[in-house]
C-alpha cells in the first residue's frame, strides 16, 4: 500500500527535528483517491507557542513535499498531550473510537499503543467492545448465580 509507505515517510521527515516534542503519530484514514489523515500528539508541557508554530510550519512543508513527490495528499491534525490525556481519562468515546480505528505509526514513549489492545479487549468501560464483552459473559454470570 503506497499510502502507508508515504505515511511512514511523513513520520520520518516531520519528526526528525522534533523527537522530544512529538509523542505519537497515528494514521486515521486512507482514502482511495490518494489522501491520508494523520494525527500528531504534541507534548504541550514542553512546547511553547513559538516552537509549536515551527513544528506546524515544518509539517505543512513536509505535506507539500509529499504531495509533489508522491502525489498523495497528507492532512494532519494536532492534539495536545494534556488535553488528549484528559479526554481519555474522562472516557470520551470519540477518542476511543478514533484509537480503535487508527493505526499507530510513531509512538516512542508508548502512550498510544497500549490503549488500542485495551479497547479491543473490552477493558475500557463504555466502549462498544466492553458492552459486547458484558453481553457475551451473561450466560457465565447467570450460571454462577444458579
Q: Is the pLDDT of residue 101 over 80?
A: yes
Residues 50 and 67: their CA atoms lie apart, in Å, by 26
Residue 114 has pLDDT above 60, yes or no: yes
Half-sphere exposure of 34 (CA within 13 A, CB side): 11
DSSP 77-132: EEEEHHHHHHHHHTT-HHHHHHHHH-EEEE-TTSSSTTHHHHHHTT-STTSHHHHH
pLDDT in tens, 5-48: 888 889 888 888 898 889 999 988 887 778 899 999 998 888 88
| pLDDT, mean of residues 48-71 | 91
Amino acid at each position: 500500500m503506497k499510502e502507508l509507505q508515504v505515511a511512514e515517510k511523513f513520520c520520518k521527515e516531520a519528526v526528525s527535528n522534533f523527537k522530544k516534542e512529538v509523542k505519537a503519530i497515528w494514521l486515521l484514514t486512507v482514502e482511495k483517491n490518494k489522501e491520508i489523515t494523520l494525527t500528531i500528539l504534541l507534548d504541550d508541557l514542553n512546547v511553547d507557542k513559538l516552537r509549536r508554530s515551527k513544528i506546524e510550519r515544518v509539517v505543512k512543508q513536509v505535506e507539500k513535499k509529499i504531495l509533489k513527490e508522491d502525489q498523495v495528499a497528507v492532512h494532519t491534525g494536532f492534539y495536545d498531550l494534556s488535553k488528549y490525556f484528559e479526554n481519555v481519562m474522562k472516557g470520551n468515546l470519540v477518542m476511543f473510537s478514533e484509537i480503535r480505528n487508527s493505526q499507530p505509526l510513531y509512538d516512542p514513549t508508548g502512550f498510544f499503543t497500549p490503549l488500542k489492545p485495551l479497547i479491543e479487549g473490552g477493558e475500557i468501560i463504555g466502549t462498544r467492545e466492553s458492552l459486547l464483552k458484558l453481553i457475551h459473559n451473561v450466560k457465565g454470570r447467570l450460571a454462577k448465580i444458579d
